[in-house]
């Protein structure tokens, strides 16, 4: 089940929260993120910018190289946002 159907804002926040959870399980944090891709299921630039604004605020001062991509569809019904991240933890 996809959370917040129809809301780019809420789905971006939940996707970011999920990213933080995944990082924590790997012993990493946001500052360990090397790059990201934010995929938004829309051809409307306004929708992409709405998701991007939430994402950038959540990233805070950590300015990892990031790409914003508008896509036709994502993998789950009602899914509007997906965040891919590459992180590295050095022991």
pLDDT tens readout for residues 24-81: 999 999 999 999 999 999 999 999 999 999 999 999 999 999 999 999 999 999 999 9
Residue spans of alpha helices (H) in the chain: 8-25, 45-59
**CATH class of domain segment(s) 8-87:** alpha beta
Measured distance CA(44)–CA(18) in Å, rounded: 25
> What is the model's pLDDT at position 90?
83
Measured distance CA(45)–CA(47) in Å, rounded: 5
pTM: 0.93
- Per the structure block, which two tokens stand in for 39? 């995929």
* Boundaries of every domain in the chain: 8-87
Other beta carbons less than 10 A from residue 2's beta carbon: 15
């Amino acid at each position: 089940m996809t959370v917040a159907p129809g809301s780019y804002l809420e789905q971006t926040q939940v996707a970011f929260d999920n990213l933080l959870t995944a990082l924590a399980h790997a012993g990493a944090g946001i500052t360990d993120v090397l790059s990201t891709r934010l995929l938004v299921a829309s051809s409307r630039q306004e929708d992409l910018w709405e998701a991007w604004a939430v994402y950038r605020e959540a990233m805070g001062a950590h300015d990892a190289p990031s790409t914003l991509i508008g896509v036709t569809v994502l993998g789950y019904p009602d899914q509007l946002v997906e965040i891919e991240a590459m992180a590295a933890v050095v022991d």
